[in-house]
Amino acid sequence: MSSDVPFGVVFGELVRRYRRAKKLTQETLAAEVLGSSDRKGDISRLENGKVRQPQLFTVRRLAEYLDISSADIDELCGLARELEVLRQECGTLAASLGHVNTLKRRQLQAIAIQFEIENALTLPEQKLRKLIQSKSEEYRAYRDQIDLIDERSVQSSNLKYAASNAAEELDLVEVERLCLIAHSLELELAEETAELRIRNALLRNRVQQAFQIISATAASFSSVDSLGRERKWRELGKLLFFHGTRYGGDAHVLLEGVLPTCLDFPVEEDRSLWGNLQNNLGLVLSYNGSRLGGKVGQDRMLRAISAFEAALEAFSVEGYRDDWSRAQNNLGNAYWGIAARAWDPQMPNSLLLAIDAYEAALEVRNFETHPEEWSRTQTNLGISLLLHGSRVDESARKNFYMRSIQAFTDALRVRTREATPELWAETQIHLSRAETKLSEQQEKHYQKTLVRRAIGRQKCALRVLRSRQEPILYGLGQSALGETLNHYFILLSENKREARLLEAKTVLIESQTRITVDDYPTMWAKINEQLSVVQLRNCVYFDPSQREKNREIGIKYAKKALSIFLKETMPFDHNRVMDILRDLKNAPLKR
């Protein structure tokens, strides 16, 4: 292909992007611009780059109707040229996916458009690079699937050739045997081809198309197996679930609608299938509940708990220990979700129920036989113990913090810096938070030891995350470091306090470039809470002439936190920030 990319390829991509942004169907666009909805195929051919030189009249009509500017066309033409540069440098575009960490922003944008990633031209570079890395992983699985289909096709052809030779010898028994094997292979090939189409649709973020392919594939299996539809939704629905978990969108909403229809059979007919479908339904409801928040989100979480409990009932018989432990871990996550995101007066013990579920899972998951699952559950347990410790009476906190530290320490037996650097850094951040909280329950001389240890962990974790280009985890680590430095302030002599407070403010403000209110509202609110504490200390301890300015800034930070920490849904966090706000308004003169 020459470096001059056909105009129609570029324009077709713009038409697709703008049509989707306006939520128009191809039929509607064809009717409005081309005069008939029957010309939907012409729009489809244009969007898929099949019309290399569209007519000028058509270009003008589409550009006017969709508000496509000449600047937009010029921008996309430039990105198309970037693709040609990548082809020349790497040989193929697929080969360029092995160099995502070194690609320039314009090259990332060009590849993002190939994958039909929304807002490719406006996403921050770090987020865009992370998305392309995820798409690269998906693409490798997609290529492996293509190679597998090629192998199946060759096997099927060889069997048919052998059957033909057997027929020449009138060996009809051998013909039947070979045809039976070939037929089985062709069924597998049909299923694998459907999976390939699903992966292709998801690579391009076409969730609705993937959903329709799964629906058709699952329905086709009901004629050969009474539970064929249900089995296919269990297997192929996972592709949709993981895509939705990674990229958001409507995948989980679609799954929430279809999975309950797959449970209309007695558990005794297929205990494993029924239990796994319940578990999958619980995962979907948990995800949707966490995204929705509020009363609607709470209802989803409660339904998720019911689904996990049903799965546990199915797996309670002998032979399903691994399935049972997985459902227990997921049940713990659902209870934690209720406790962490909102407070339900009908379930005040959600965290204790989460802790019970994780500890039950650990009766099956152990370091020797299930190291990865064991470490994941230990981490979940540590997070729940840490949060519960912050909510109980002062006299009971130390016990929960110490148990939390033990859980994180155990998890680090598997999550080592050498084997899993990102997980190691994330767990170190959690452990440092627990040590900071425990320090509040200790004598002053030991407080300093724990806090210094926590700061050391956090800075070491941040160095690893920076080198691994993990912007979100890096932001979480910065917020943890800012919180610990805030606590360290009260343990320092006066001549060292101001420098530490400035360091806390710097890392907290920088963390907000990575932790946004849209993507991580709770963590964003916690960062603003910590920034309000910084401003409160500036009011109390430093430069009285700046007290009013610091007070006003602190109040703004506190109000931002309160916009997420609502009294009705997150009373613990709300009350804590209200105390800070009250102190800001009544800040005394310098001590």
Residue ranges per domain, the chain?
7-91, 368-489, 516-591
> How many whole angstroms separate alpha carbon 419 and alpha carbon 182?
43
CB of 326 closer than 8 Å to CB of 311 = no
CB of 528 closer than 8 Å to CB of 517 = no
pLDDT at site 74: 77
> How many whole angstroms separate alpha carbon 501 and alpha carbon 533?
10
CB of 197 closer than 8 Å to CB of 209 = no
Distances (CA, A) of 374 to 309, 358, 383, 410: 21, 10, 14, 9
pLDDT at site 1: 34
Which residue in the block uniquely carries the two structure tokens 């096997």? 155
Dihedral sign computed on CA atoms, order 224, 230, 236, 240? positive
> How many whole angstroms separate alpha carbon 417 and alpha carbon 370?
19
Which residue in the block uniquely carries the two structure tokens 């996916």? 97
Distances (CA, A) of 292 to 252, 300, 342: 12, 9, 11
pLDDT tens-place string over residues 155-168: 778 888 888 888 88
Which burial class, exposed, middle or buried, applies to 284 when counting CB atoms under 10 A from its CB (0-12, 13-18, 19+)?
buried
pLDDT tens-place string over residues 232-267: 999 999 999 999 998 888 899 999 999 999 999 999
Tell me the two tokens of residue 189: 């090939």
pLDDT at site 158: 83
Q: Choose the CATH number for 7-91 among 3.60.15.10, 1.10.260.40, 1.10.645.10, 3.40.50.2300.
A: 1.10.260.40
Among the listed residues 252, 328, 240, 238, the one whose alpha carbon sits nearest the alpha carbon of residue 289 = 252
pLDDT at site 588: 65
Residues of the chain where predicted confidence (pLDDT) is lower than 70: 1-6, 293-294, 341-348, 469, 588-591
> How many whole angstroms separate alpha carbon 247 and alpha carbon 267?
33
> How many whole angstroms separate alpha carbon 117 and alpha carbon 136?
13
Which residue in the block uniquely carries the two structure tokens 């962490």? 340
> How many whole angstroms separate alpha carbon 71 and alpha carbon 56?
17
> How many whole angstroms separate alpha carbon 153 and alpha carbon 185?
8
Among the listed residues 480, 484, 488, 486, the one whose alpha carbon sits nearest the alpha carbon of residue 448 = 488
pLDDT at site 276: 97
